[in-house]
Amino acid sequence: MDYFSTRGATERVSSAEAILKGLASDGGLFVPASFPQMTLPEIEALRDLSYEERAVHILRLYLTDYTEEELKGCVSRAYGHTFDDVRRAPVRAVGDLEVLELWHGPTSAFKDMALQLLPQLMSTARAKTGEQDTILILVATSGDTGKAALDGFADAEGIRIMVFYPDGGVSPVQRLQMVTQEGANVSVVAVRGNFDDAQRGVKEIFGDTAMAKELAALHTKLSSANSICCLLADGKIEAGDPVNFTVPTGNFGNILAGYYAKRMGLPVGKLVCASNANNVLTDFLQTGIYDRQRDFYQTMSPSMDILVSSNLERLLYHLAEDTRQVAAWMQELTTVGKYNASSLLPALRENFWAAFADDRATEEEIRAVYERTEYTLDTHTAVAYRAAEDYRRETGDARPMVVLSTASPYKFGASVLHALGEDTAQMDEFAQMECLHARSKMEIPVRLAALRTAVVLHEGVCEKDGMHAAVLSFAEA
């Protein structure tokens, strides 16, 4: 299986090379040259396997230059001992919907599904390709990717990692998780700006050829780990009956994995894209017009506070199959702030449905679901749960619906408690955890409780235009 850029750069690369590079040389994203097909009996056979066995099954269809032994090793190191549920991603009935809990990994957010595995694949790729230079991973995070990447890459051989997060734009627990990260190869910096500023800064650094030369002199190559599309879409598959999925969406990685699964043969009905008040994707999926020129809101679901949703570019490519067109749209997005892809509207409507919930609706949803079912949703999952209910009500489609749950409520304790009617004014993060434990009866994730005594190691802050300098000084250190 070869990979190439959504924007048409001519080089075709192997999966190991694509994993090492992260971004294509023309600024595009790597996509697979085709979708491997699985038959229904093959898909059904996955049901009897462990999560790790399923993962190897699916990964070997995409990562054809890795041996089965290599993949088995990567997968068992990634998921074997770091998750607190043997099923890794358990499905639980909550009301009329199925909730797929993707947050049982070490950082309590769904990013662990991909970012525990990626470092393993990258170290293996380094060995396979004979790479000698240090790989420097740059990450812009809206909160969860940063910690998940730091945890996955800490002390990885031949790899260093630098994370930029929006100053004041992440939850207190998310911030604490990042600034206390240990490891000789890590750096964490707050950027005075929002997530889009940080993401743009990282993309600019990738496109900067002068910078690449300076880094080459330091025997360093850049790579990325931004909302890497996790191919391990794992659902409750009925025998051939389509299932709908609702995904709380920011950078479009998770929902894109659902689309890939559909293209591979999984009986997926509609993919419902759930957004918060930053509803640029809701508008796009309804009109085909992507317009990032709008107010940016800081919401109680900060991991979805995004106006430039980067993996959407991959969907554009798969629907249009025209790299020149994709490059033109991306160019317009940069220069004008807007593009019109309404030619794709029929295909978008066939596969997707979209809705959003602002903070008030999100709070209402947390409380209503708690009162009805005693299950405590995190803020992101609540946005999705609401969108799933909207979808059922407005379309009458009663097929099974899986709501992807992307974070433990403990990561956003203050907002969740507020929704449940608690006054948190006098509580620090840890008192909030105790209070949430009393209300939700859910175990406090051990790693979050341990933040109480963790030492803050990263207090750096930079301006939006200071990211270049920060990367260079880290590379030199």
Nearest approach in angstroms of CB 139 to ligand PLP is 12
Nearer to ligand PLP (CB atom), residue 201 or residue 250: 250
Active-site residue (options: 21, 72, 111, 221) = 111
- 3-state class (DSSP) for residue 186: strand
Contact (Cβ atoms closer than 8 angstroms) between residue 401 and residue 246: yes
Stretch of 46-54, 244-252, 360-368, 462-470 contacting ligand PLP, by CB under 6 A: 244-252
Nearer to ligand PLP (CB atom), residue 220 or residue 299: 299
How far apart, in whole angstroms, are the C-alpha atoms of residue 198 and residue 207?
14
Nearer to ligand PLP (CB atom), residue 163 or residue 475: 163
227 binds ligand PLP per the rule CB under 6 A: yes
Nearest approach in angstroms of CB 304 to ligand PLP is 5
Nearer to ligand PLP (CB atom), residue 250 or residue 288: 250
Nearer to ligand PLP (CB atom), residue 17 or residue 112: 112
252 binds ligand PLP per the rule CB under 6 A: yes
Among 32, 119, 146, 250, binds ligand PLP (CB under 6 A): 250
What's the one-letter identity of residue 338?
Answer: K
- 3-state class (DSSP) for residue 369: helix
Give the DSSP H/E element, type plus range, for residue 187.
Answer: strand 186-192
253 binds ligand PLP per the rule CB under 6 A: yes
How far apart, in whole angstroms, are the C-alpha atoms of residue 103 and residue 412?
13
Tokens standing for residue 278? 């930053």
299 binds ligand PLP per the rule CB under 6 A: no
Stretch of 115-123, 161-169, 183-191, 250-258 contacting ligand PLP, by CB under 6 A: 250-258
Q: Which residues of 302-338 are buried (b: 16+ CB within 10 A; e: fewer)?
A: bbbbbbbbbbbbbbbbbbbeebebbbebbeebeeeee
Nearest approach in angstroms of CB 71 to ligand PLP is 23
151 binds ligand PLP per the rule CB under 6 A: no
Nearest approach in angstroms of CB 407 to ligand PLP is 4
Stretch of 7-15, 39-47, 248-256, 292-300 contacting ligand PLP, by CB under 6 A: 248-256
How far apart, in whole angstroms, are the C-alpha atoms of residue 319 and residue 58?
22
How far apart, in whole angstroms, are the C-alpha atoms of residue 385 and residue 404?
9
CA distances from 157 to 2, 142, 226 (A): 26, 26, 20
Nearest approach in angstroms of CB 275 to ligand PLP is 9
Residues 126-145 as x/- pattern, contact with ligand PLP by CB under 6 A = ------------------x-
Contact (Cβ atoms closer than 8 angstroms) between residue 299 and residue 359: yes
279 binds ligand PLP per the rule CB under 6 A: no
- 3-state class (DSSP) for residue 68: helix
Known catalytic residue at 111? yes
CA distances from 156 to 7, 18, 139, 141, 185 (A): 31, 19, 16, 20, 8
Q: Name which of residues 323 to 352 contact ligand PLP (CB under 6 A).
A: none
Tokens standing for residue 168? 């004041």
Question: Could you tell me which of 405, 426, 427, 424 has the C-alpha nearest to residue 416?
Answer: 424
249 binds ligand PLP per the rule CB under 6 A: yes
Question: Could you tell me which of 159, 145, 175 has the C-alpha nearest to residue 460?
Answer: 175
Q: What is the 3-state secondary structure (H, E, C) of 220-247?
A: EEEEECCCCCCCCCCCCCCCCCCEEEEE
Contact (Cβ atoms closer than 8 angstroms) between residue 252 and residue 310: yes
Nearer to ligand PLP (CB atom), residue 252 or residue 260: 252
Nearer to ligand PLP (CB atom), residue 123 or residue 249: 249
304 binds ligand PLP per the rule CB under 6 A: yes
Contact (Cβ atoms closer than 8 angstroms) between residue 138 and residue 416: no
CA distances from 311 to 60, 248, 306, 378 (A): 22, 14, 12, 23
Among 105, 248, 409, 413, binds ligand PLP (CB under 6 A): 248
277 binds ligand PLP per the rule CB under 6 A: no
Contact (Cβ atoms closer than 8 angstroms) between residue 303 and residue 277: no
Among 21, 175, 318, 380, binds ligand PLP (CB under 6 A): 380
Nearest approach in angstroms of CB 274 to ligand PLP is 9
Nearer to ligand PLP (CB atom), residue 109 or residue 222: 109
Kindly determine how many residues on this chain lie close enough to bind ligand PLP according to the rule CB under 6 A. Answer: 17
Q: Name which of residues 74 to 113 contact ligand PLP (CB under 6 A).
A: 109-111
Nearest approach in angstroms of CB 114 to ligand PLP is 9
Q: Quick one: CA dihedral 423, 426, 430, 434, positive or negative? A: negative
Point out the residues that are catalytic. 111
- Give the residues lining the site for ligand PLP (CB under 6 A): 109-111, 144, 227, 248-254, 303-304, 380, 406-407
